[in-house]
Structure 1
Amino acid sequence: MTASRRRATLATVAASAGVSVATVSKVLNGRSDVSPATRSLVQAVLREHDYVAPAPRREVAGLATVELQFDAHLNAYSTEIVQGAVAAGAEAGVGIVVSIGNGVERTTAWARELVAAGRRALIAVTSQMNAGQPAALARARLPLVLIDPLNLPRTRVTSIGSTNFAGGLAATHHLLSLGHRRIAYVGGPATAGCNQARLHGYRAAMESEGAPVLPGYVRSGHFRYHDGVEGGAAVLDLPRPPTAIFAGSDEMAVGIMEAARARGLRIPEDLSIVGFDDTQIAQVTSPPLTTVRQPLREMGGVALRTALRLAAGEKVDSHHVELATELVVRGSTAPAPPG
């Protein structure tokens, strides 16, 4: 993409199409007083120049909206993020629009649609971003904030997360303090930054205590229940199964509980389990789940306030913010069984 095309204006499009600026404006605004042939010509030139109309100005309080976009179906984790963003939006007089899917296959059209819908900014949660998406949003002058991104594009973007390494360290040290040495990690996508940090925390704690990470003790999935069932089954069926498992999410931890029960194992007498997130799921499992509290509502609120600052043309102090995690001990962990 050349610099001139990135800076395309109404005048540029009008000159290329051989029509007036007023005609281009009529096409953009859906006016009916333009012939079909001229409309088709102008639309083709708009696509050729990758033109994105400037975001509409929102002067009236309550009209501004921010898109909160998830990459998959909503779950307990998503709900916490939404509640935090909605609460912060209510304080700022901004509406939150929740959507699913990140428009990977139609980057430019996706950015245009967000702008046309009057979005002030986009917050993408646990999304896989391709290189073209931040660029398209930047051309549209639509700020982007990522929460727990599965990957970070090469271009600098603003992101919100938690102290995942410290959380992984705390979870594993808790299990080690109970006498466990055969501890497995069943986590999310191997390439996800948040998962890598949790895994590194786990490995650091194991190494500090001289506890080996046995072959097959590290599994990856997608932070979902069925991945917990599958990953839990895989490590529990090893010749030397673990006496404790650190799960990369609460949802995965519940799946591991099911895999354990299917094998006749009692929790926590035979197997201790630690989750990550501290969603409502953690409090209603049987037994209640020991987990690492990730401040999800606060993350949603910080992301919303950061997005609004960027939309207002303000600078942010840091392009990556990490909020503190905290270990919450409940009933799913106990001293290691003998033997």
Structure 2
Amino acid sequence: EGVLYRIPKRGTYVSERSVEEMLCTAPIAVAGIGVPSFTNDYAGIIISAFSEMVGKREWYFLDYDGIDSAAERLHGMGALLLLAMAPRPSVVPALEKLAGRGIRVLCTAASLDSKRIHSISVDNRQGILSALNYLSQLGHRRVAFIGTSTESFDTIERLNAFREGCLEFGLDTGAEYAICKDHKLGVQYLVDEAFGEWFGRPGAPTAIISGGNAVSGVILDALSARGISIPQDISVIGFDDSPLFAHLSVPLTVIRQPLAHMGRQAAQILTSPSAAEMPVNLRLPAELVVRMSCTSPRGV
């Protein structure tokens, strides 16, 4: 019933206190944080909210590219919990292994069917369908989607929801309008390639939905470089919000994730007495935040 933990440079000890007591009172308790990028607004907001709930402690940041060795170090440090943000599918087996060794693991941006790992994600389907419904009501029929990373749980869910929604709302469903791939030269080249195929010929999309923040900024820059005006020439909706988007010359309409709430929920789940029992798979609603980047297409 005791908890095995390690005080750096002092050795390994066994505590008779419960995991919950350790998490709430022990300043030496180690928590792991897995992040996809240190420049990601997504990660910063979740970590901030998570930290407020869990309290100040020693954080150990994992690099997903070396997940196996990082996981071993985390276990050796006596970590009690791990918050893994936006893990790739290839990372999940290592996380399952950690969970099997007694570390409480929760993944964000990943809806997992796991017997060991907790997960919290936004309802990507609901978010995409709300955006498509809004664009459909404005009169759009040719809507495009651009996503990156075929190894992202979120992006794949958004792409599938986009295809489903196009059928549901009677929109054009040409394969050229739904793009999701890992371009070897980066997001800029992916967007330039798509725009080269779409614009300057009949049948170009009248609206674009971005698969995430990494794509939204590139789409806006690429449209500006081509002299394509938002929203007069094309409507744009981004998935994920950023403080910058509300202050652009044309504020961007977005599908917003409740990131702070996600961080607080993650902390509550991981520190709950029932965390070691049945894993929680939680879906949080997305919010369509309408600003000024969408209007009816020309001629409607």
TM-score higher than 0.5: yes
2:81 is aligned to 121
Higher RCO (Cα < 8 Å, 6 or more apart): 2
Inter-partner Cα distance in structure 1 for 2:53 and 2:10 = 35
Q: Helix, strand or coil: the match of 1:280? A: coil
Q: Which residue is 2:260 aligned to?
A: 297
Q: Secondary structure at the match of 2:230?
A: coil
Match of 1:278 among 241, 251, 266: 241
Whole-angstrom CA distance in 2 between matches of 1:248 and 1:135: 27
1:80 partnered with 2:80 = no
Q: Match of 1:274, SS?
A: strand
Query: Any conservation in 1 of the 2:27–2:58 contact (CA below 8 Å)?
Result: no
1:160 aligns with 2:123: no
1:216 aligns with 2:176: yes
Select 1:99's aligned residue among 55, 61, 67: 61
Secondary structure at the counterpart of residue 244 of structure 2: helix
- The letter of the residue matching 1:158 is H
Secondary structure, in 3 states, of the residue corresponding to 1:68? strand
Cα distance in 2 between the residues matched to 1:212 and 1:268: 20
**Superposition TM-score, scaled by structure 1 size:** 0.72
Matched residue, 2:34: 69
Unpaired segments of 5 or more residues in structure 1? 1-28, 32-52
| Alpha-carbon distance in 1 for matches of 2:58, 2:231 | 41
Provide the secondary structure at the position in 2 that maps to 1:78: helix
Deviation at 1:244, TM superposition (A): 0.6
Residue type of the alignment partner of 2:255:
V
Q: Is the 8 A contact 1:121 1:143 kept in 2?
A: yes
Cα contact 2:150–2:182 (8 A) shared by 1: no
**Which residue pairs with 2:4 in the alignment?**
none
How many Å apart are 1:132 and its aligned residue? 4.2
Q: Which has the greater radius of gyration?
A: 1
1:172 and 2:135 are equivalent in the alignment: no
Q: Is the 8 A contact 2:49 2:263 kept in 1?
A: yes
User: RMSD of the TM alignment (CA)?
Assistant: 3.1
Instruction: State whether structure 2 residue 282 is matched by structure 1 residue 321.
Output: yes
Q: Trace 1:240-279 onto structure 2 (pairs within 5 A).
A: 240-279=203-242
**Letter of the 1:234 counterpart:** E
Name the structure 1 match of 2:195. 236
Distance 1:242 1:281 in 2: 25
Q: Determine if the alignment matches structure 1 residue 148 to structure 2 residue 134.
A: no
**Once the two structures are superposed, what CA deviation does each residue of 1:292-330 show, in whole Å capped at 9, x if it has no partner?**
111111111211221222xx5645665310111110001
* TM-score normalized by the length of structure 2: 0.81
Tell whether the 8 Å contact from 2:62 to 2:70 is kept in structure 1 after alignment. Answer: no
- Which residue of structure 2 lines up, in the alignment, with residue 18 of structure 1? none
- Tell me how far apart the structure 1 counterparts of residues 58 and 245 of structure 2 sit (CA, whole Å): 27
Q: Is the contact between residue 31 and residue 81 of structure 2 (CA under 8 Å) also seen in structure 1?
A: yes
- On the 8 A contact 2:120/2:266 being kept in 1, the answer is yes
TM-aligned CA distance change 1:99 to 1:201, over 3 Å: same
What per-residue deviation string (whole Å, max 9, x for no partner) do you get for residues 168-211 of structure 1? 10111111111111110011323533222222322232212221
Task: Note if contact 1:125-1:148 (Cα within 8 Å) is conserved in structure 2.
Answer: yes
Q: Is the 8 Å Cα contact of residues 146 and 180 (structure 2) preserved in structure 1?
A: yes
How many residue pairs get aligned? The number is 280
User: In 2 relative to 1, CA 320–78 (structure 1 residues): closer, same or farther, beyond 3 Å?
Assistant: same
User: Contact 1:68–1:125 at 8 Å: present in 2 too?
Assistant: yes
SS in 1 for 2:84: strand
Distance in 2 separating the partners of 1:77 and 1:133: 23
Consecutive unaligned residues in structure 2, runs of 5 or more: 1-8
1:333 corresponds to 2:294: yes
Tell me if the contact between 1:184 and 1:218 (Cα under 8 Å) persists in the aligned partners: yes
Q: How far 1:241 moved relative to its partner? A: 2.1
Alpha-carbon shift at residue 72 of structure 1 (Å): 2.8
Instruction: Report if the CA contact (8 A) 1:72-1:100 is conserved.
Output: no
